[in-house]
Each structure stands twice: as structure tokens, then as C-alpha cells.
Amino acid sequence: MPNLVLTGFMGTGKTTVGKKLSGKLGMKLVDTDREIERVTGMTVNQIFKKHGEIRFRSEEKAAVKRIAKEDNQVISTGGGVVLDPENTTMLKENGIIICLTASPEVIYERVRRKKNRPLLQTEDPLGTINRLLNERAPFYRCADAVVDTSNRELDEVVGEVIRLFMEHK
């Protein structure tokens, strides 16, 4: 079975939806950020602080390369994984990409209390969310399908993702 790849901005529900999907579909759950942490022995935050975003993106690309070779997985990606077209190409070779979206306000409410979001450690996190969403919009269009998670129940989102995955596989 092909991989079901979840992309989208931070706070759109990739990890939460991914966990539920893997259980319902009987597929292994793989989170690219957790894989990077496992391999490096550092948290994503630590990598950003110590080595910067360029090093993190390099680790991310290596993780995608390893993960994309397998099949029958639900892959929850980091929010910026699509910024590198090679990542998208590798993920599409053996996977259906579904982009989860949410309004900037919903994203802000979901992530505002979390301190593990290095890109949002700014004076104006909502402004940063809006700016990053606009910058990344063209990259998220690589998805085979899009699901808006704003103000929706988890089971409703999971059901829609499963339906779209089955239509595209």
C-alpha cells in the first residue's frame, strides 16, 4: 500500500490526525521530526538553536530520503518539509500527499502555548504565521488533496483524509 503523507503548516493537526489514521488503517506511523530527533539525539528546538535552520533542513531531507523508501506508512511531516522540492518528489514516488490546512487564527490558538516552535519565537507570532503561510502556499499546492481542519472534530477530519487517500491510491 502506498504511504499516506500528511503535509501542512505547524498546528494543522498532522501529528494528531496521523496517530488516529495509522490506527484506523493499520499502517505504521512515522513522524519526520521524531525521526530527526532519534537520529541526531537532539530535539528540533536544540538543532535550530545550536546549528540553525539550514542544518535542520539537511537532517530533514536525509530523514525523508530514508522514510520515503518504505511503504504502508502514515508519514507526518514537519511543516517546512515541502520547501525542498526534492522532498516532495521523494514523498510522491510512493505516497499520496494530503495537505492539512487551518486558518491562521486557529493555528495560533493551537500552538501559542507551546515553546517547541522555533519559528514562532517572535514578537508577533500571529503575524509570523500569516507571513509563513503566504510564503509557503505555493509549496503546499504539491499535495494530491487538501483538508481544512479548522473548527472540525478529529473523527470528521480523519474520515475525510481516508476517503481522499482511497480515491487517490
* Residues 106, 157 contacting (CB under 8 angstroms): no
Residue holding cell 515541502?
A: 82
Domain residue spans of the chain: 3-168
Checking if the pLDDT of 89 tops 90, the result is yes
Residues 6+ apart with CB under 8 A from 70: 3, 28, 30, 94
What pLDDT, on the 0 to 100 scale, is given for residue 117?
Answer: 63
Q: What is the distance between the alpha carbons of residues 125 and 65, in angstroms, rounded to a whole number?
A: 31
Checking if the pLDDT of 125 tops 90, the result is no
Q: So what CATH class is 3-168? A: alpha beta
- Global pTM reads 0.93
Instruction: Please write the tens of the pLDDT for every residue from 149-161.
Output: 999 999 999 999 9
Residue with the bigger pLDDT between 147 and 112: it is 147
- β-bridge mates for residue 75, sequence order: 5, 30
Instruction: Please write the tens of the pLDDT for every residue from 48-80.
Output: 899 999 999 999 999 999 999 999 999 999 988
Checking if the pLDDT of 115 tops 80, the result is no
One-letter amino acid at 150 equals S
Q: What is the DSSP letter of 84?
A: S
The radius of gyration of the chain from alpha carbons, rounded to an integer in Å, stands at 15
Confidence category of residue 86, pLDDT binned at 50, 70, 90: very high
What pLDDT, on the 0 to 100 scale, is given for residue 120?
Answer: 65
What pLDDT, on the 0 to 100 scale, is given for residue 57?
Answer: 95
